[in-house]
Chains A and B, each alone.
Chain A
């Protein structure tokens, strides 16, 4: 969009010309995901996950709209409408539900990979701070949507999950308890909560879609980042999104959907909790209240705060859990290193992988029943999480000596294979700085 060599949209068919003069929608699409968007030529497969997240958002919206046609949003009818009507009598209802259920998991999975790609390659740094922050807004909306969607089948875990999560708010002094009652529309999850969660669960995906548009819009101003983190310098550094990245995203999406299909058709309940096939019972809680896997790291942080120190332990836990996500908004200013890509940051790279392990450990702890050992491991892992972002990262970015960067994206791609890879008419350009400047 902002590159001078981006190909302008030239409608050929008279109808498209007519349309372009009145409502240039095809022009927008062409510039966003067509031949008019130049993308760095060196993107690796970690750059495929943004498109995949968009695919899963679409899958969730389409299956969700049809499921909503058959869902009965009442405390008496919700469980039976999901497990009876939809799973048994609606045509392909079992497929819609299992796709929707596992689609949520895959949506989070690809989004997590997308976020970690951004963390490793410094995609949050200038000039893409707003892209990063809008992405975090999408992620927060996803969490809210997923939580409310999980309440809808009104199983045991739905009910007690709603009880626990809305209980977070009551940790805040004075306003907490009235806030919780206001959110639930009562003292405990009941009809009022179920109906409003259904309403919001239907609304929020469209809000997500709107923020996705802002996310992509903000991305297209500087253009996509790339594995070297080096800015695009000229046309040779880029390829048009279509057909190059549509082809790359296309086949890879097929491969991911294949994994998705294996889960949906052959192990649809693998990621779920058996307790949610028991109808909600406000009088008896399950032995362990555990959220879905994609919340486990945060759940582990919440449960790690077991000591009252000035503030009550519960308030510490809630504050830490919210902070663990909110601190990511400050990341562009926490990490001051001018080098974007972790590939050229030897110290940063080590700590990055430590963080990945740390979050996997937190995830494991969050899914386990509370035992002395898991709690202790969780506390160490949670402490590292905060130290990583708030102490280690600023220090690393201040003291680290990065490796030398390639002069350009094309340079990094060629690796001495210029004869094969260079565009027609271009001269081999590996060592001669002077000629490169003259060119």
Chain B
């Protein structure tokens, strides 16, 4: 049987060798073509947020500013369907404010006319999730040159780099470098697309959403530069993706401290138990009949009266 198995092993190794040689020959004779994205795609710019790291907490004022950017700019095209108005409590809004935000929201919620049963719309309630800007995918594509604006609820968890990616995309629009066109003449950004080195294939369908400082008027007096707005909305989108982040960190510390204490106690108990084994005392203790017999023998040997 070992010969059969050895033969099988040699066959697999042989086929792999053939594949390896074939692969090397193709790579040399016909090297894979380089594309513009190999050279010009860039990793996200670093972005530091209050929610970073194990001690991270949300900066609620920044989240509110980010929410303002979302509602005034992004929400024209991007849905946020996993988030409900009631969740805005996490940003520090009170019930009355949330009610007002919901009922003032620019798109309404589909409903039925209670008298006729016909399709109708109504104002959003705090219990509703954010109504999407387009009724369906076809409508969304029709309005955006056949591109589909992704839902933003989880965007910071759905892209490498997370919030740094969002921030980099929003601030990364620029003219296509002349060097790129010189090296890759076929890689000219097509009409209706926009050059952005932070996007995987360099050409993104989304037009630059944040175009000028002061596009949004912040209520807390922060200067609304494009950079600031991009940071704020990235922070907001961390919250939409992970609204329980603060609770998770807090619970984490409690659990880690508990486990640390339990592990140390367990370790001490382990040492005590095993030390007994090494000294030869049976774990059943001095009342164990065998131990008593041994004790008696040892004492009589030493001449001590039992």
Do A and B come together as binding partners? yes
- For A421, the chain B residues whose CB sits under 8 A away are 278, 280
Which A residues fall within an 8 A CB radius of B?
Answer: 35, 41, 80, 83-84, 87-88, 94-95, 98, 239-240, 243-244, 247-248, 250-251, 254-255, 257-258, 261-262, 264-266, 268-269, 274-275, 277-279, 287, 304-307, 309, 313, 316, 320, 323, 327, 330, 333-334, 336, 372, 375-376, 379-380, 382-383, 386-387, 389-391, 394, 420-426
Q: How far is the CB of B51 from chain A (nearest CB, A)?
A: 12
Q: Which of the four size classes fits the interface of chain B?
A: 35 or more
Which stretch (B96-104, B157-165, B230-238) binds chain A? Answer: B157-165
Q: Which residues of B contact A265 (CB under 8 A)?
A: 54, 248-249, 251-253, 255-256
Q: Which of A41, A80, A309, A424 contacts B82 (CB 8 A)?
A: A80
B270 touches A305 (CB 8 A): no
Contacts of B193 in A (CB 8 A): none
The answer for the CA separation of A233 and B12 in the assembled complex, in Å, is 43
**A83 near B17 (CB under 8 angstroms)?**
no
Distance (Å) between the CB of B96 and the closest chain A CB? 22
B273 touches A425 (CB 8 A): no
**With the chains together, A130 CA to B92 CA distance in Å?**
61
Min CB gap B294→A, angstroms: 5
Is the Cβ of B16 less than 8 Å from the Cβ of A83? no
| B16 contact from A247, A304, A423, Cβ within 8 A | A304
Residues facing A in B1-36 (CB within 8 A) are 1-2, 5-6, 8-10, 12-13, 15-20, 22-24, 27, 32
Query: A-facing mask of B54-97, CB < 8 A → 1, else 0?
Result: 10000000000000000000000000011000010000000000
Let me know if A261 and B263 touch, CB within 8 A: no
Q: Which residue of B lies closest to A88 (CB)?
A: B243
Query: Whole-angstrom distance between the alpha carbons of A372 and B34 in the complex?
Result: 13
Residues of chain A with a CB closer than 8 A to B20's CB: 376, 379-380, 383
Chain B residues within an 8 Å CB radius of A320: 12
**B264-304 interface mask toward A, CB cutoff 8 Å, 1 = contact, 0 = none?**
00110110011001111101000000010010011000000
Determine the distance from Cα of A264 to Cα of B247 in the docked complex, in whole angstroms.
Answer: 13
Given contacts A80-B82, A316-B15, A376-B24, contact A254 B159 (CB under 8 A): no
| Inter-chain contacts of A87 with B (CB < 8 A) | 244
Chain A residues, Cβ within 8 Å of B81: 80
A372–B294 touching, CB < 8 Å: no
Chain A residues in 8 Å Cβ range of B22: 306-307
